[in-house]
Amino acid sequence: MKYPASWVFRCPFQIYLAGKYPEYSRIEAEAIERGRKAEIEFERMLKSLRTPYRKQKPLNYRTKYYTIYGRADFITHSEVYEVKSVRAFRKPTKNWIGQLNLYLAMSGRKKGFLVEYNGEKFRKYEVNYSDRLFRESIEFFNYLHSGRYYRDTSYCQWCTYSFICEEL
Ligand code: SF4
């Protein structure tokens, strides 16, 4: 069994619904294009700084029962960068920080940055590796792996399954 690191701390019931009704999963083409542009612009910046890096580095962490996997956007010799396209700068969600913290654990780096790009400029948010958050992440995936799902209403505003969720 495999779980993407990007699921960490997301609403478990949403993950359940996404598996059961994949036809309602909606990632707008415009959002994909914005994300692609953010990575291109950030890569351009790394190149201008002459920073050696690896792009889309596959990473994984194996437990006894399942594997957590992902691709870090950019890795340098000491840092991990996860680039997010946003309409407006905002406080990073626990989901984003947890995902980056997992990449830090998987890559052996101690420091990473969430890089937000609003179409014009970047904002970097530093994340230092947290063993406590890593353990909490593993507890989250252990819970998912148990097949139990609870509703985390802090993600409802971004959820494309809210119309089903309310009926179940
Ligand atoms: S509407 Fe809210 S509680 Fe329901 S699945 Fe989506 S995020 Fe979870």
The CATH number that applies at residue 90 is 3.90.320.10
* Protein residue with its CA nearest to atom 4 in ligand 1: 165
- Number of neighbouring beta carbons within 10 Å of residue 167: 5
99 vs 159, higher pLDDT: 99
Query: Is residue 155 lining ligand 1, measured as CB closer than 6 Å?
Result: yes
Q: Please, which pLDDT band fits residue 49 given cuts at 50, 70 and 90?
A: very high
Determine if ligand 1 sits within 6 Å of the CB of residue 95. no
**Distance in Å, CA 108 to ligand 1 centroid:** 33
Half-sphere exposure of 161 (CA within 13 A, CB side): 21
Residue-wise pLDDT tens digits, 92-136: 999 999 999 999 999 999 999 999 999 899 999 999 999 999 999
> Given this model, what pLDDT does residue 155 score?
83
Q: Which of 72-86, 92-106, 152-166 has the lowest mean pLDDT?
A: 152-166
Q: What is the distance between the alpha carbons of residues 104 and 96, in angstroms, rounded to a whole number?
A: 12
Does 27 score more than 70 pLDDT? Answer: no
Which pTM value belongs to this model?
A: 0.91
So what's the pLDDT on residue 66? 97
Q: Which of 54-68, 107-121, 151-165 has the lowest mean pLDDT?
A: 151-165
Question: For position 28, what pLDDT does the model report?
Answer: 66
Backbone phi and psi for residue 28, each to the nearest 5 degrees, phi listed first: -70, 140
**Residue 72: which domain range?**
2-165
Residue with the bigger pLDDT between 87 and 82: it is 82
DSSP states along 28-89: -HHHHHHHHHHHHHHHHHHHHTT---EEEEEEEEE-SS-EEEEEEEEE-SSEEEEEEE-SS-
Ligand 1 pocket, 153 CB below 6 A? yes
**Quick count: other Cβ atoms within 10 Å of Cβ 152?**
17
pLDDT at 65 over 80: yes
**Is residue 74 in contact with ligand 1, taking CB distance under 6 Å?**
no
* Atom of ligand 1 lying closest to residue 10 CA: 7
**How many domains, the chain?**
1
Cα 76 to middle of ligand 1, angstroms: 36
